[in-house]
Amino acid sequence: MREHGVLKRILLVYREGIRRLQAGDKTPAQALNAGAEIIRSFIEDYHEHLEEQYVFPKLEQAGQLTDVTAVLRTQHQRGRILTDRTLAATSGAGVPDKAGRDALIRDMSAFIRMYEPHEAREDTIVFLALRAVVPAKEFRDLAETFEDEEHRRFGQRGFEGVVDKVADIEKSLGIYDLSQFTPT
Ligand SMILES: [Fe+2]
Ligand SMILES: [Fe+2]
């Protein structure tokens, strides 16, 4: 699912935030808050909602990967708690003190640590299993349902509009230019 690409890019935003906090730089509160807002609206309220409403139940009804879907559901819930705290810590109510900065580092690190394996497992195991249990026509209908929901929530530009916002956050942190990541 291409939504996972947006998730991955916010994980990179969080990682840059952690790097700056650990270096003792100014907390990039605005960028981190904007990133956490995208996690809330696009990943948790939209993408994970669809997984919980359509993807996991199809597998559970087919008796497939039920141990995995149980863990993924729990991880969605834990992720929300971390996002609540990340939003609160970066909401602009003054500069967080040392304890607040350490807590923010811990929460963003825990979020990254959980979501890298979470999204990788979904991409390599869960969505393939879904294709195997859902007939082709139903699978296409499901994709259309997702697309409709995307435009209902995020307007005409949908996914692309969300990606533009992610790019703006990356630019504000100086991590947009892809070539900077090429080893010399
Ligand atoms: Fe998920
Ligand atoms: Fe997912």
| CA of 72 relative to ligand 1 center, distance in Å | 6
DSSP per-residue codes, 144-165: HHHHHHHHHHHTTTHHHHHHHH
Residues lining ion ligand 2 (Cβ < 5 A) are 122
| CA of 35 relative to ligand 2 center, distance in Å | 17
Tokens of 127: 């969505």
Percent of the chain with pLDDT over 70: 98
Whether residue 94 has pLDDT greater than 70: no
| CA of 23 relative to ligand 2 center, distance in Å | 31
Residue 51 contacts residue 146 (beta carbons within 8 Å): no
Other Cβ atoms closer than 10 A to 121 = 16
DSSP per-residue codes, 115-145: HHHHHHHIIIIIHHHHHHHS-HHHHHHHHHH
- The values of phi and psi at residue 51, to 5°, are -60, -45
| CA of 74 relative to ligand 1 center, distance in Å | 10
Ligand nearest to the CA of 114: 1
The amino acid sitting at 182 is T
pLDDT digits (tens, 9 = 90+) for 113-171: 999 999 999 999 999 999 999 999 998 998 899 999 999 999 999 999 999 999 999 99
Ligand nearest to the CA of 42: 2
| CA of 135 relative to ligand 1 center, distance in Å | 22
| CA of 10 relative to ligand 2 center, distance in Å | 14
Q: What is the pLDDT of residue 92?
A: 77
Tokens of 53: 């409403």
Dist. CA 156–CA 163, nearest whole Å: 13
In this prediction, residues 24-37 reach a mean pLDDT of: 95
Whether residue 93 has pLDDT greater than 80: no
- Identify which of 33, 45, 41 has the alpha carbon closest to the alpha carbon of residue 76: 45
Q: What is the pLDDT of residue 1?
A: 73
